Structure 1
Amino acid sequence: MSFTKTLRGLTTVSFWAADLEAAKKWYAELLGITPYFERPGYAEFRIGDYQHELGLIDSRYAPGGMTGPASGAVVYWHVDDVTATFEKLLSMGAKEYEPPTERGEGFITASVVDPFGNILGIMYNQHYLEVLDSTRKD
């Protein structure tokens, strides 16, 4: 029996866009950075405390069945202020998917559908902050 962890951590979240150039511009404005890696049909941002990857992929390369209305898993990114981030996303043309909702002490979620049809989840997560704090060296 192996003791290898099956899911070791988030590496890349991929979002699809029919207009990749517009998606790159939209996410660059949201994140305040430009993609660190690009090739035809693909752009990648490194974001957050752990430098996770957010990949934007031309929807021509999407696996079958991935086009159409927003659906599937929701990946939540930690933010310090859910309401302010939610309002910023709406002001940038995203559509409400789920309004800010308290899920228990220290946990608030919300999600939007970006202008390209992807669900973008945001969350204030106390556990995330505790883990981050435990990894910092004094």
Structure 2
Amino acid sequence: MADSAVQGIKTVLHPVTDLAKAKKVYSALLGIEPQTDGDFYVGFDVAGQHIGLVPGAGTQGMDAPVAYWHVPDIESKLAEVTAAGATVKSPAADVGGGRLVATVTDIDGNVLGLMQDR
């Protein structure tokens, strides 16, 4: 079985309604310009963390920020957390560059993100 220890929360995605305005706020908060700056995603890398702004995320069921726990084997971790009582909200999917993401809800409805970089 693969090592299933988490590598910590390294990514937090925030749903936004106005990407340009949100980018200004987060640039001011973090004191840096974004490293990824597109029409469909803006991302900041600061202090070992990645902060992402996701426009239109509400239409994808993302209505609050989601913290992503980085894991070495996303399928193994999904199996572990669902066996413990979590429910899969979105199964593992490749979002580009070999990065896999998934979300689950805990027993209280909190959304937990899982992320694996290949």
**Which TM bucket (shorter chain)?**
0.3 to 0.5
Determine which structure has more spread, i.e. the larger CA radius of gyration. 1
Larger fraction in strand:
2
TM-score, normalised by the number of residues in structure 1: 0.42
The normalised TM-score by structure 2 is 0.48
Which structure has more RCO (C-alpha within 8 Å, separation ≥ 6)?
A: 2
